[in-house]
C-alpha cells in the first residue's frame, strides 16, 4: 500500500491516522458500499463532493455517506444564490482526483472546505485517502485542522 498525497500531508502535519484498504467495485462507488467494506456505519464515512456556486466558484463539501447535500443550505453558507455539482467529466480536472477517490487533502487548488456538523459526533471518521480502495480513519478535529475546514449544517438524511 503506497502513501498518497493526502497521507503525506497528514504526515507533514504530525497527524495520526490509520489506512483501510478495501476492494473497489467500479459499479458501486457509494460511501455506503465503502462503509460496509471497511466495517463502519455509513454516517461515520464521509464523502467529499466538489460543488460550484454561481458567485464564489468551487467549494468542497464533506458530508456523511448516508446523507445528501443540502444545496440551499450550502449556498446560504457560502453566499451563493445557487450551487450545483461540478460535472463528473470535470471532477478530475478541477480536483486532481477521480470519482470515488476525491479528498479535500491535497487538491490541485486550495478550495474552501465545509464539513457537515455531524462530523463532531464521532471519535474518528473515515474519508478518502485520494484513491479508490483506500480510506483514511482520522479524528475529526485533526481532519478539520488539516483541511482548514469550516463546519456547518450542509446535509440532510436521504
Arithmetic mean of pLDDT over the chain: 95
Residue 105 has pLDDT above 70, yes or no: yes
pLDDT of residue 19: 96
For the segment 43-50, the average pLDDT, to the nearest whole number, is 97
Tell whether the torsion through CA atoms of 17, 118, 112 and 129 is positive or negative.
positive
For the segment 68-91, the average pLDDT, to the nearest whole number, is 96
Residue 139: give the domain boundaries: 5-157
Could you give the number of structural domains in the chain? 1
Tell me if 105 sits within 8 A of 6, measured CB to CB.
Answer: yes
Look up the CATH number of the domain holding residue 149. 3.90.960.10
In the structure grid, which three cell numbers stand for residue 118, read together?
455531524
pLDDT of residue 1: 64
pLDDT of residue 3: 86
Amino acid at each position: 500500500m503506497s502513501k498518497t498525497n493526502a497521507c503525506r500531508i497528514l504526515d507533514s502535519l504530525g497527524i495520526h491516522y490509520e489506512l483501510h484498504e478495501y476492494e473497489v467495485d467500479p459499479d458501486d462507488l457509494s460511501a455506503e458500499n465503502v462503509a460496509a467494506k471497511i466495517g463502519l456505519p455509513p454516517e461515520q464515512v464521509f464523502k467529499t463532493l466538489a460543488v460550484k456556486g454561481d458567485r464564489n466558484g468551487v467549494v468542497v463539501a464533506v458530508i456523511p455517506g448516508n446523507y445528501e447535500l443540502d444545496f440551499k443550505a450550502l449556498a446560504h453558507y457560502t453566499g451563493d444564490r445557487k450551487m450545483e455539482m461540478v460535472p463528473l467529466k470535470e471532477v478530475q480536472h478541477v480536483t486532481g482526483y477521480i470519482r470515488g477517490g476525491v479528498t479535500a487533502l491535497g487538491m490541485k487548488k486550495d478550495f474552501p472546505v465545509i464539513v457537515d456538523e455531524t462530523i463532531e459526533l464521532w471519535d474518528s471518521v473515515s474519508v478518502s485517502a485520494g484513491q479508490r480502495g483506500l480510506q483514511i480513519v482520522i479524528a475529526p478535529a485533526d481532519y478539520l485542522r488539516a483541511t482548514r475546514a469550516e463546519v456547518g449544517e450542509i446535509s440532510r438524511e436521504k
